[in-house]
Structure 1
Amino acid sequence: MSRPPRSARHTSALRFTPHALALAASLCSAAAASQAQTLPEEAPASSVQQLERTVVTATRSSKALEKIPGAVSVIGRQDIETQSLISEDPSQLLTLQIPGYAPARQKMSNFGEGLRGRTALLLLDGIPQTNPLRFGGREGYFADPMIVERIEVVSGASAAQGMGATGGIINTITRSPRRVGTQHLLELKFGSQGHSDSSSWKTGYRLEHLSEGPDPWSALVYLGQRSQDVGVDGEGRMLATESLHRANDAFIKLGQRLGDQELQLMFNQFTAHGFEDWVDVPGDRARELPASSKPGRLDYQPLYNRSRSASLSWSHADLAQGQAQLQLFAQRFAARYSGGVIATFQDAAIAPLNTLVDQSQIEARKWGLRASWVRQDLWTPGLELTLGLDVLDDVSQQDLTLTGRAWVPPLKFRSTAPFAQLEYEFGPLTLRGGLRDEHTQLQVDSYNTLAFYGKPRVQGGERRASEMVKSLGAVWRFGRSGWSSFVAYNEGFGPPDVGLILRAVKAANSSVTDLVDLQPIVTQNRELGLAWRGRQASVSASVYESRSDLGSQLIVSNGIGTVQRVPITVRGVEVSGEWRPSEQLKLSSSYARTRGRTSSTSNGGALDLDLGARSQGPDKWVAAATWQFAPQWSSQLSLQRQLPRHANVGKFSGKTSLEEHFKGVTLVDASLSWNTAQGQWSAGVENLFNRQYVTYYSQAHYAGTGEDFYAGRGRGLSLSWRRPF
């Protein structure tokens, strides 16, 4: 069961002048360790607490949360494990833990799951998982919770991790062995909703080894497999598919310490499959009847996801009086989508119109280098210099798999970005400023679009862009009072969805070099906040404004999506708090209010439209209680309230209404754990009161049809057993 982040700065947003620097509330961390007793194989609570209070994603070096000028949150291992008792959907974890994260879709797709109204850069140990050149909304599944140590979240634009971080960064950090010796862990899990075709199973095995001595070597291996049936909604009706059916994860991490140096090799492959023996039954939006499914055979290949990541990392604790890190990485991604007789895929030269069955698949191949060097106490105590270089090479494309046609030609992209940062700490004050010099190159060969677009020949070419992105910030800690505050200005740099633009070119004699829509997105994030942390309670509040003069919005008309480059401004408020009335009881809560606006014209006109559900979630309130009512027993109850949202009432794009309506929903989850000598026994209940509802994106998206009118999962019970040996 999840709850608002324990060790986090929760950022917020409020209207203020465009040139005001944002002040962000020092995330006084509620990083106190969970009251639930840890398993014998786990590190002591104090170690877990220290891990959660130190992050690397925001600054490229280990920093305590209270010294980072920005909205940085950490989802610790205890939170991840507790939520996995309810659901292993990573988006549902983020929805509950991160105030500005939009509600989960509960599908393999993560369209509409924005962070503060924008798309976040997803990382696994710093390796990019997001595909901004051709964002297909299927990058959210890439790791089993059993291999995850913590998740570090930077809300708002960031220059720290490079291309694509215009809306924030979500970095999933994998586990490393911490105890000398060899430990094994076996996990078995079963779930059911009390209906046929609603059960789920999981088996996972993890091996950890850490040798003794001054130069230890380590190994961590994990193999896991799970399956999930279609399931039912709150009224017992079968859910529509588009969801994960089977998944497996193979993970290995090897490490060797040699004095001041350390080498680490990591490989992870996560594969997910959809249903092949169930077909969807469209719903009816007018009658508020959700889409469903029934047994049947598909006319195309089932949905499929594969994410394969590998890295070789080297670090040196004392190189030229500084700390050096170097990472070489590679990542391959493939996602196959639903097919059928789709208007866009029709071609009379292949088959009679309205008879051709086809489906698409996105593939992306990345490799890169990340290097940094940090020198502390440079010239004077408290002054720190960070230098680094990031290189990313990405080739993305989208094909129609059944007919072998190219929908999006290979997009060959290279990004090179040297960066530098200075930080000065003087007593209670921390000042930080940095520059990142982004240089990008996109090369596309000549190609023809599909028959639907008229098959015009698009002349290939090369586009280059460069941008100096900046970051400034300060943190002030008010003595021993427990109060602190921060102010921050950060810029993020990234490309638009190039594939979505190029695949829909209709005009003859078009050229890649002339398509102004390929200009990069630069996001400016201003933030300010205030926080207090005492011995038994903490509270934080912050405000932000995120602005891009040339953003990217998808407009859907008659089922066809086109990209418009328009200004976007998002403002928001995020508040969180925690209270421990006793050592056994913890109460926590968070609230997020997001207001995004954009323009109906690309000429820099007034911000006359609300951001749609594809980008922005509803206002959200989350509350949770954790209670250790006996030495070996712990429980948690959480409540999530997604508030109603009505956007763009009476607004049109051509003849297409842009109105979006969401009724709101309140969901409650619960979990219970019992530690014994034979292992940990746990039970989790999702949607405790069996609430019947339609998920936010499915209900609100203005271009939705009866086919994607998806209900949320009804009540489900999960039982698990975990045993270290």
Structure 2
Amino acid sequence: MHSRLHALAWASVCLFGGAAVRAEPAAPAAPLPTEVPADGRQSLEQVVVTATRGAKALEKIPGAVSVISAAEIEVQGLVSEDPSALLAVQIPGYAPARQKLSNFGEGLRGRNALLLLDGIPQTNPLRLGGREGYFADPMIVSRIEVVSGASAAQGLGATGGIINTLTRRPTQPGTRQTVEMRYGSQLHGDSDSWKTGYMVEHKSDFDVLAYVGVRNQDIGVDGAGRPLATESLHQAADGFLKIGKDFGAQRVQLMVNRFQADGFDDRVDVPGNRATGQPTTSAPGTLPYDAPRNEVRSASLEWTHADLAQGAASVQLYKQDFTANYSGGVIATFQDASLAPVGTLVDQSEIKADKWGLRASWVRPDLGTPGLELTLGADYLNDESQQRLTQTGRVWVPPMTYRSLAPFAQLEYERGPFTLRGGLRDERSRLQVDDFRTLAYYGNQSVQGGERTASKLVKSLGGVWRFGSSGWSSFVAYSEGFGSPDVGLILRAVNTPGRSVNTLVDLQPILIDNRELGIAWRGAKGSVSASVYRSHSDLGSQLVVSNGIGSVQRVPITVRGFEISGEWRPSADWHFNGSYALTRGRTASAAGGNLDLDLGARSQGPDKLVLGARWVPAPAWSVQWTQSVYFSRDANEGKFSGKTALDEHFKGYTVADLAVSWDSPWGRLGAGLENLFNRSYLTYYAQANYSGTADDYYAGRGRTVTLSWRRSF
């Protein structure tokens, strides 16, 4: 603990003078042996478009940008296909995975991340229900680009960073088919899982990639053999199609994806006991409401031109429809004496969010002088979100329409070892809400609808200095982000008469400034990078829960952190990597007050150490070991919000995973062991959540064996 506090103190000293940080790519799981370059080194010329809106090598981007490759995704998939588990291992500042259908509480550097699929927003900032993390099968993913820290490069919602999942496209001429089958078990009843996927790729004068996959997972058990709780994925299916055609320097591409995930309809939760450490479990039973479900449909039509007015142009029209059906029951908030006696009414909620938008950009290199690059573009977004109660047809959150238009410009100049970049983005938004009435729990208040507008010129500035041929580089960066509070949560909780959307102060946007400073070294046999950062918002957004009911407080928030990652390749057969993240967030107990509270587990994860080792005993074999250490955390001891105690306590835990793959003559065979030593533990958010109850005291998954086979022909 002393060393962690020392690192934090060092970070604070660096940031006091206005400096800032960067993290090079987080210590990744090593690629499969067939994808490792002959010299054992990873290429520095990986390109990203998430942070820059144009292709750039990682080493030339002034910011905390990293890329998770398809090989790294596949290695993690041998153990678990939970997307949050992958991010927790690969990204230092990402909070521990909840291991549930919901990703609620999985923040990035103490704030929310904007999730994208091929640039299509998957996050629903107007009504953030924590169910947005499941939207695609890992089989269709080519890589994941991550920007840690507030950013406006992709628009609204990236207060903690951007996580852009990019889908595959055919690369080899001809037709290629791939079949994948998986089977997993914990050697207990109701713990089996299986998955089947089929992909076909074709490339000639046009290219097409199609995929269909289905997955089934039983409830599973924890390390002590107890059934897990039901807030987890039971069944999932994905259908994906991408068609593209090149016309000289131009390309037209259509992508369609439909992903559905269902919870359990034949099991009910058995409450746990926080005082005795007994976790929430489950048992066979019949639900008095519909099973939880997620359905996400994403589509985009994209046109690119590699040489338009001596620049590269891109225009994307996209559509995304999201529906999430949550668990229900006899919930206090849903009771209404006019419908049924209080304490007997069963209901459940559903969030619907439909988006469409247009993204356009043009990048012109060598503008007037070598090394000077200009990027111009504009983004438009139309988001319509609402939340209703499905069993009684009541409106809980009224329909909300959000529209934004954001032109942007960026200049970059590169000369020798220096790269300097600065940008401006003019965010102009409009929120419209009709008149509505709150639920009986809030007093059936009549709320006058209205319109809120906001305008913000969002800035970014940064530079990279590469120290000649020594392998060292450093960067400094300042970036601003533009977010929205959970508008739906604010509106549905109005409990006083005479309120109007036009006068609700809490609807003001969230403005973040992120300052970073980092240094990195890359050599023939290894690399290391270290960074410090400070993220601040004068009017942040915090959810406070009292008696099971959440309300939003608009208070200042400051997050400071330190991250370090590295890798060492002593030989072609061995690869070691590791990362460590320290995060310290502070907020205020009242608007405009001093930073007198620790940031809670809904936003901030614990300090985290991830270690990994890969061994290649033979050219076709690979063995990957990963160990994740989550350190204990005690926050807000003796602090209250009204009569609600805000104490958070996390004991910490360590889990290890093992993955083995063999490129056999019959296809790629794999075996994974999740929680290798069958550690019995309670997950981070379940332990630390101060408002947790006997119904959400969740244990982590016990040892799980997964066998897989993938064959391409």
- Give the TM-score range, shorter chain: over 0.9
Equivalent of 1:303 in 292, 301, 310:
292
Q: Give the structure 1 partner of residue 449 of structure 2.
A: 460
Q: In structure 2, what is the Cα distance between the partners aligned to 1:32 and 1:357?
A: 46
* Contact residue 569 and residue 598 of structure 1 kept, 8 A: yes
Residue 131 of structure 2 corresponds to residue 138 of structure 1: yes
Q: Which amino acid aligns with 1:335?
A: A
Equivalent of 1:129 in 122, 126, 145:
122
Residue 606 of structure 2 corresponds to residue 609 of structure 1: no
Q: Which protein, 1 or 2, shows the higher relative CO under an 8 Å CA cutoff with sep ≥ 6?
A: 1
* SS at structure 2 position matched to 1:510: coil
* Contact residue 12 and residue 544 of structure 1 kept, 8 A: no
Equivalent of 1:568 in 557, 563, 574:
557
Q: Which amino acid aligns with 1:436?
A: R
Q: Which amino acid aligns with 1:137?
A: G
Equivalent of 1:502 in 488, 491, 500:
491
Q: In structure 1, what is the Cα distance between the partners aligned to 2:242 and 2:673?
A: 33
Q: Give the structure 1 partner of residue 164 of structure 2.
A: 171
Equivalent of 1:14 in 11, 15, 29:
11
* SS at structure 2 position matched to 1:24: coil
Q: 1:28 to 1:499 in 2, by over 3 A?
A: closer
Q: In structure 2, what is the Cα distance between the partners aligned to 1:13 and 1:47?
A: 34
Q: In structure 2, what is the Cα distance between the partners aligned to 1:256 and 1:142?
A: 26
Q: In structure 2, what is the Cα distance between the partners aligned to 1:344 and 1:444?
A: 22
* Contact residue 20 and residue 526 of structure 1 kept, 8 A: no
Residue 202 of structure 2 corresponds to residue 209 of structure 1: yes
- Give the drift of 1:495: 1.0
> Number of matched residues?
706
Superposed, 1:245-644 pairs within 5 Å as 245-602=234-591, 604-644=592-632
Deviation string, structure 1 residues 264-285 (Cα, Å, up to 9, x no partner)? 0000000000000000000000
Superposed, 1:59-78 pairs within 5 Å as 59-78=52-71
Q: Give the structure 2 partner of residue 6 of structure 1.
A: none
Q: 1:677 to 1:183 in 2, by over 3 A?
A: same
Q: Give the structure 2 partner of residue 675 of structure 1.
A: 663
Q: In structure 1, what is the Cα distance between the partners aligned to 2:15 and 2:181?
A: 53
Q: 1:372 to 1:155 in 2, by over 3 A?
A: same
* Contact residue 260 and residue 294 of structure 2 kept, 8 A: yes
TM-score (norm 1): 0.95
* Contact residue 13 and residue 593 of structure 1 kept, 8 A: no
* SS at structure 2 position matched to 1:15: helix
Q: 1:356 to 1:261 in 2, by over 3 A?
A: same
Equivalent of 1:102 in 95, 108, 113:
95
Q: 1:16 to 1:388 in 2, by over 3 A?
A: farther
Q: 1:340 to 1:46 in 2, by over 3 A?
A: farther
* SS at structure 1 position matched to 2:12: coil
Q: 1:49 to 1:713 in 2, by over 3 A?
A: same
Q: 1:264 to 1:670 in 2, by over 3 A?
A: same
Q: Which amino acid aligns with 1:155?
A: S
Q: In structure 2, what is the Cα distance between the partners aligned to 1:600 and 1:223?
A: 49
Q: 1:196 to 1:665 in 2, by over 3 A?
A: same
- Give the drift of 1:546: 0.2
TM-score (norm 2): 0.97
Q: 1:529 to 1:206 in 2, by over 3 A?
A: same
* Contact residue 13 and residue 544 of structure 1 kept, 8 A: no
- Give the drift of 1:22: 3.2
The two structures, once aligned, show a CA RMSD in angstroms of 1.7
Q: Which amino acid aligns with 2:33?
A: A
Q: In structure 2, what is the Cα distance between the partners aligned to 1:605 and 1:271?
A: 44
* SS at structure 2 position matched to 1:82: helix
* Contact residue 28 and residue 538 of structure 1 kept, 8 A: no
* Contact residue 32 and residue 49 of structure 1 kept, 8 A: no
- Give the drift of 1:633: 1.1
Q: Give the structure 1 partner of residue 5 of structure 2.
A: none
* Contact residue 437 and residue 469 of structure 1 kept, 8 A: yes
Q: Give the structure 2 partner of residue 7 of structure 1.
A: none
Q: Which amino acid aligns with 2:34?
A: Q
- Give the drift of 1:70: 0.3
Q: Give the structure 2 partner of residue 24 of structure 1.
A: 21
- Give the drift of 1:630: 1.0
Q: In structure 2, what is the Cα distance between the partners aligned to 1:54 and 1:530?
A: 19
* SS at structure 2 position matched to 1:112: coil
Q: Which amino acid aligns with 1:672?
A: V
Q: In structure 2, what is the Cα distance between the partners aligned to 1:116 and 1:528?
A: 15
* SS at structure 2 position matched to 1:630: coil
* Contact residue 660 and residue 670 of structure 2 kept, 8 A: yes
Q: In structure 2, what is the Cα distance between the partners aligned to 1:13 and 1:491?
A: 23
Residue 112 of structure 2 corresponds to residue 119 of structure 1: yes
Q: Structure 1: which 5+ runs fail to align?
A: 1-10
Q: 1:52 to 1:67 in 2, by over 3 A?
A: closer
- Give the drift of 1:50: 5.4
* SS at structure 2 position matched to 1:81: helix
* SS at structure 2 position matched to 1:666: strand
Q: In structure 1, what is the Cα distance between the partners aligned to 2:695 and 2:119?
A: 37
Q: In structure 2, what is the Cα distance between the partners aligned to 1:580 and 1:18?
A: 33
- Give the drift of 1:494: 1.2
Q: 1:326 to 1:644 in 2, by over 3 A?
A: same
Equivalent of 1:37 in 10, 34, 37:
34
* Contact residue 21 and residue 489 of structure 1 kept, 8 A: no
- Give the drift of 1:676: 1.1
Q: In structure 2, what is the Cα distance between the partners aligned to 1:178 and 1:529?
A: 35
* Contact residue 299 and residue 357 of structure 1 kept, 8 A: yes
Q: In structure 1, what is the Cα distance between the partners aligned to 2:603 and 2:28?
A: 30
* Contact residue 28 and residue 533 of structure 1 kept, 8 A: no
- Give the drift of 1:17: 7.3
- Give the drift of 1:696: 0.2
Deviation string, structure 1 residues 146-187 (Cα, Å, up to 9, x no partner)? 000000000000121111111100000000111111110000
Deviation string, structure 1 residues 608-658 (Cα, Å, up to 9, x no partner)? 000000000000000000110112111011100000000001101111110
Q: In structure 2, what is the Cα distance between the partners aligned to 1:236 and 1:26?
A: 39
Q: 1:425 to 1:347 in 2, by over 3 A?
A: same
Q: Structure 2: which 5+ runs fail to align?
A: 1-7
Q: 1:31 to 1:138 in 2, by over 3 A?
A: closer
- Give the drift of 1:466: 0.5
Equivalent of 1:157 in 134, 150, 153:
150
Q: 1:192 to 1:30 in 2, by over 3 A?
A: closer
Q: 1:30 to 1:592 in 2, by over 3 A?
A: closer
Q: Which amino acid aligns with 2:557?
A: I
